[in-house]
Amino acid sequence: MNTSTLPNGARGTTAVTVSRPSMQWYLTLAGVVLLIVGSLLSWCYDEGVLGNVSLNVNPGPIQVFMIVIAVLTLFFLLLRGGLFPVLDRLLDSARALRALGATATAFMVAVVIVIALQTSGLANADPGVFVALVGAALITWGSWSLASDPTVDPVSVHMRGWVDILVIVALLAIVLFGAAYALGQEDGTVFVLFLSVLGGVSLALARSGLFSWIRVIAQRHRQVLMLGAFAVAFLFPFTQNGSDANMSIATQVIIFATTALGLNIVVGLAGLLDLGYIAFLGAGAYVGATLSYSAFATIHWKPPFIVVMIIGACVSATLGLIIGTPTLRVSGDYLAIVTLAFGEIFRLAMFNLDGNNGPNLTRGPNGIPAIPDLEFFGFNFGDTHDIFGIPINRFGNYYFFLLVVAAIIILVFTRLNNSRIGRGWVAIREDEKAAEAMGVNTFGLKLFAFAGGAFLAGLAGTVKAHQDVSVTPDQYVFLESAFLLAAIVLGGMGTVAGVLIGATILKLLPEKLRFVSDYRLLIFGLLLVLIMRFRPEGLVASHRRQLEFHEEDTELAEHVEHAHLEATAGSEGTA
Amino acid sequence: MDLFMQQLVNGVTLGSLYALIAVGYTVVYGIVQLINFAHGEVFMIGAFGALGTWSYLLGESTSIWVLPIMIIGAVAASTGTAVIMERFAYRPLRHAPRLAPLITAIGVSVFLQEAVRLFYPGAKSKLPFPQIDVVTGPAFKLGGVVIQRAALFTVIALVICALLLWLFVNRTKLGRGMLAVSQDPDTARLMGINVDRIIVVAFALGAILAGVAGVAQGLQNSNIDFRIGFLAGLKAFTAAVLGGIGNIEGAVVGGLVLGVVEALVTQYTQYLPFGLSAFGGSSWKDVWTFALLILVLVFRPQGLMGARVVDRA
């Protein structure tokens, strides 16, 4: 066992020493081979278990997952063997291997149990499943005693620009195909398995330090990443071949994400907890509905949609200003309650303005149905169009349009974040009194956060009204505000990527996991509690945020300072 | 005049319910400066605890003698929930930034609602609450004013609970420890007070009163469902702020004031001039209550009786 420490221990001192691989290394390699071979063999006589795993050399989806894990393991093994010395300095392959081994083993054990349960006993299991299980166990065993090799801080590593960009492109391509693949899964079990494998692999990659490297790359090439992500989102409908189901989910996700980004300005940047944010989306949606060509619209003025969008956004922003004024005197928890009360007032008002209990503006609980599709210059959003022979249906049309809206919002968000205003917000968030003493116009900035966030939500709301076809008060309840907040908290406050990921997870999972749909909210509540307990800074945390939640972490503090200096030096260099 | 008196009675009834729940917000806030957003759910679970005790332990008898056991069942359910919640959700976050416990509270609130909806048999729709002899039945008439028996039960429950609470806080060692912790937790700890225990006691006290409120709510409305906690919780929070958060007497007064204001607003906004009457009556009463909440938070965050906790605004 201790033979491994000798060659690997030397690794940290000089940059790279290609050493003769140890016994553990070969053990792990044997595990990889067994895992691949096992996964290519049949796992079970029964065709109905876990998709179809009953064929030789024709692996089912789950077997493919295992092969992917095996290939990743091989990659890290080769890294350790000294194939890519540069990467080896960045990534801690031992930790990654351990996580991969644990994932593979846990996964194979689960598969064996599922086979045993679903086919009444292990008699139906084929040798392949045991070969794969032994392979996974070998990987775990072999990698367990590998010594962690020291890595360098990715901030201090500069590679050629094209390498960085290549990594970004590869990453985005993986995201695109991963998303298309995951959405293509009809089988709920396979979907869950895919997610758990994804979780395990992500854990392994995170432990290897890949993500912090990618974060540094992403910070260096922000524009490339943004453009690339936009391109991926743009290409997504073309992978769906006109299928309605996934595009409708995608459209919902993008509306949700757009709204969450608006809320992120208020909560993430300015640090003002807003529990009534859904009201701003609702205000936009109601404006969109009442000014639409719907036969039930209560205002008989039909301006072009661009005008409606602006009106909706302005109405929303006005409400934002109104609800923002108490921030002059109220902050913290009290502000949260003020906004919550405001959200309830909005919902009740929309519910009551039905002609019996007040002027007829919203038709009360019935809402405004039959809102026609948008039409720009003769282009009707309800029609299906062919682009390069791939049909783009109604949802696809809205998806593209919303993508543009989302892009605008992301642009506004990032520009604000890097501006004097954004720095003012960060100052307010971290210490309001100190910020005020330093001459930051705290009240003005807080008002602006509310109004700006509301403006963006109103914009999204007008489109949502058309996409949803009808607008009713029960779409804008408190729970929706909580969902938006959860998307931000889950993803990482104050970040764009985090919020997009959080919003995707929160909208996508309930749609795909229909068989747990009844327990959806229960899981949601539990999730909120667990995130706050174990990772309050969210999945994708900005370092500064992370520091706010872990004040005693001096190493992190130094890192943030270092990265900050690096960033300012970089921007001065280009200026 | 009868109408006014009637609305006053209705208001006091409603207000007693709010007051019983509001104490929970105020006690916890006074000690840990946390808005226990899930307290409304504790109240809801109290109501379900009473119903569960009645249908599974008491054989659905409606004699008056089952009432104390129902109350014990309600209090057990609500207190258990509150103590577990404190231990597993809030305690690990005691030194986290303020945003964290508030978001946790929202999560706990959603979780508890859903847990009741999914796991209490039949709770997906409204459930009838037992009509117990003596405390429900024909109403009393006092002149032209109708007083429901359940209303009387609520008011009496509030009086008893408030008295016992006052005695507990001011006359027992544990209660005085609570006062000490709310004034200065660090010094209290130095004086040998177990702050963790005091916090649990604070949660439990609030939950006991919420459990009683759950029974009162069931008797008054004759049915309960898993959603009752949200609105009641928000109103009770309004009451707690109105009275001055952290101030136990304030919570009782605030609850009563809010109840009366709500009843009067419901009645008299119907006579507003200039077409404003359209915004009156029972369908708008919650809007007025929330508007009142916002106004109080903005213009008098220390409440009517003065908050015990300084500098929250």
Q: What is the pLDDT of residues A289-317, one digit of tens each?
A: 888 777 677 777 777 888 888 999 999 99
Domain contains B278: no
CA distance A400 to B14: 52
pLDDT at B112 over 90: yes
Q: How long a stretch of residues is chain A?
A: 575
Residue A523: inside a domain: yes
Residues A323 and A273 in one domain: yes
Does residue A553 sit in the same domain as residue A487?
A: no
Q: Which one, of A500, A461, A503, A204, lies nearest residue A350 by Cα?
A: A461
Q: Which of B152, B114, B221 is nearest to A525 (CA)?
A: B114
**What pLDDT is attached to residue A418?**
83
Q: Which two tokens stand for residue A365?
A: 């609980």
- My answer on whether A352 and A445 are in the same domain is yes
Q: Nearest CB to B298: which of A330, A332, A526?
A: A330
Q: Is residue A235 part of a domain?
A: no
Residue B6 falls within a domain, yes or no? Answer: no
Q: Say whether A292 sits in a helix, a strand or coil.
A: coil
Instruction: Identify the pLDDT of residue A556.
Output: 67
Residue B168 or residue A227, greater confidence: B168
- pLDDT above 70 covers a percentage of chain A that reads 79
A338 and A472 share one domain? yes
- A479 contact residues in B (CB cutoff 8 A): 110
Cβ contacts (< 8 Å) between B283 and chain A: which residues? 351-352, 357
Q: Which helix (H) or strand (E) holds A380?
A: strand A379-380
B179 domain-assigned: yes
Residues B190-198: what's their mean pLDDT?
91
Please indicate, yes or no, if residue A277 is contained in any of the structural domains: yes
Tell whether A68 is covered by a domain: yes
At residue A546, the pLDDT reads 64
Instruction: Band the pLDDT of A568: cuts 50, 70, 90.
Output: low
Least confident of A261-270, A271-280, A381-390: A381-390
Tell me which residues of chain A, numbers 476 to 535, contact chain B at a CB-CB cutoff of 8 Å. Answer: 478-479, 482, 485-486, 489, 518-519, 521-522, 524-529, 532-533
pLDDT band at A566, cuts 50/70/90? low
Q: Which of residues 183-222 of B touch A (CB under 8 A)?
A: none
Find out whether B210 and B90 touch, Cβ atoms under 8 Å: no
What is the model's pTM? Answer: 0.80
Judge whether A234 lies within some domain: no
Q: Which positions 14-33 of B are in contact with A (Cβ < 8 Å)?
A: none
In a domain, B8, yes or no: no
CB contact under 8 A, A329 and B313: yes
Q: Report the number of distinct structural domains present in chain B.
A: 1
pLDDT at residue A564, as a whole number: 60
Range of lowest pLDDT (A223-232, A412-421, B42-51, B74-83): A223-232
| Interface contact B35-A337, CB threshold 8 A | yes
**pLDDT mean over A380-403:** 75
Output the pLDDT for position A177.
79
Residues A294 and A163 in one domain: no
Mean pLDDT of chain B: 86
Which residues constitute the domain of residue B188?
Answer: 15-226
Task: Give the pLDDT mean for A111-133.
Answer: 77
Determine the distance in angstroms separating the CA of B173 from the nearest CA of chain A, rounded to an integer.
31
Q: What is the mean pLDDT of residues A110-124?
A: 76
Range picked from A161-175, A306-320, A458-472 for highest mean pLDDT: A306-320
Phi, psi of A109 (to 5 degrees): -60, -45
Domain count, chain A: 3
Residues A344 and A438 in one domain: yes
pLDDT at res. B157: 92
Q: Say whether A341 and B93 touch across the interface (CB within 8 A).
A: no
Give the β-pairing of B223-224 and A390-392.
Answer: unpaired
CB contact under 8 A, B115 and A344: no
pLDDT of residue A241: 67
Range in A185-199, A245-259, A437-451, B243-257 with the lowest mean pLDDT: A185-199
On the question of pLDDT at A521 being above 90, the answer is no
The mean per-residue pLDDT over the stretch A397-403 comes to: 85
B227, B233, B234, B240 alpha-carbon torsion, rounded to 10°: 170
CB contact under 8 A, A529 and B107: yes
Question: Is residue B40, in this structure, part of any structural domain at all?
Answer: yes
Q: Please tell me the distance in Å from B191's CA to the nearest CA on chain A.
A: 27
Q: What is the pLDDT of residues B124-172, one digit of tens each?
A: 888 888 888 887 778 888 778 888 888 999 999 999 999 999 999 889 9
- Is 60 exceeded by the pLDDT of residue A468? yes
pLDDT of residue B16: 94
Residue A63, number of CB atoms within 10 A of its CB: 26
**Beta-bridge partners for A387:** A390
Which one has a higher pLDDT value, A16 or B24? B24
A537 and A554 part of one domain: no
Distance from CA of B230 to the nearest CA of A (A): 10
The predicted pLDDT at position A10 comes to: 40
- Please report the pLDDT score of residue A7 as a whole number: 41
- In the three-class reduction of DSSP (H, G, I as helix; E, B as strand; rest coil), residue A300 is classed as coil
Per-residue pLDDT for A4 more than 50? no
**For A114-120, what is the mean pLDDT?**
76
Confidence (pLDDT) at B111: 93
Q: How confident is the model at residue A20 (pLDDT cuts 50, 70, 90)?
A: low
Which range, A85-89, A548-552, B30-34, is most confident?
Answer: B30-34
* A-B contacts at Cβ under 8 angstroms: 132
Out of B111, B279, B293, closest to residue A529 by CB: B111
- Chain B 37-96, CB below 8 Å of chain A: which residues? 89, 92-93, 96
User: Looking at the structure, do residues A97 and A225 belong to the same domain, yes or no?
Assistant: yes
Q: What is the ipTM of this complex?
A: 0.86
Question: Closest partner residue to A525 among B35, B107, B290, by Cβ?
Answer: B107
Q: Are A268 and A499 in contact (CB under 8 A)?
A: yes
Candidates B34, B95, B114: best to mutate against A (most CBs of A within 10 A) is B114
Interval A310-337 mean pLDDT: 84
Q: Of A409 and B167, which is predicted with more confidence?
A: B167
Angle between the A188-208 and A210-220 helix axes, to the nearest 10 degrees?
A: 80
> Quick check: is B191 in a domain?
yes
- All residues of chain B having their beta carbon less than 8 Å from the beta carbon of residue A548 are 97
Which comes out higher in pLDDT, residue A458 or B134? A458
- Across the interface, whether the CB atoms of B287 and A349 are under 8 A apart is answered yes
92-151 in chain B: CB under 8 A from chain A? 92-93, 96-104, 106-115, 118
Per the prediction, chain A carries an average pLDDT of 78
Does any domain span residue B240?
Answer: no
Of A40-44, A390-394, B253-257, highest mean pLDDT:
B253-257
Least confident of A59-63, A471-475, B222-226: A59-63
Q: Is the pLDDT of residue A2 over 60?
A: no
Chain B residue with minimum CA distance to A523: B111
**What is the reported pLDDT for A187?**
67
Task: Judge contact between B149 and B136, C-beta under 8 A.
Answer: yes
Q: Among partner residues A334, A344, A485, which is closest to B103 by beta-carbon distance?
A: A485
- Whether A563 maps to a domain, the answer reads yes
Are A508 and A572 found together in one domain? no
Residue whose pair of structure tokens reads 């351990």 in the numeric block? A98
Q: Which residues of A touch B89 (CB under 8 A)?
A: 529, 533
**Cα–Cα distance between B15 and B255 in angstroms, integer?**
5
End residue of a domain, out of A195, A229, A263 = A229
In a domain, B271, yes or no: no
Asked if residue A526 has pLDDT above 70, the reply is yes
CA–CA separation, A280 and A453 (whole Å): 9
Position with higher pLDDT, A144 vs A121: A144
For residues A273 and A417, membership in a common domain is answered with yes
CB contact under 8 A, B297 and A337: yes
Query: What would the mean pLDDT of A152-169 be, rounded to a whole number?
Result: 72
Report DSSP state, residue B88.
Answer: I
Mean pLDDT of A110-114: 81
Q: Tell whether A372 and A466 lie within a shared domain.
A: yes
> What range does the domain containing A267 cover?
240-541
State the pLDDT at residue B85.
93
> For residue A6, what pLDDT is reported?
39
CB contact under 8 A, A529 and B93: no
Report pLDDT for B313. Answer: 35
pLDDT at B19 over 90: yes
Same domain for A191 and A335, yes or no, is no
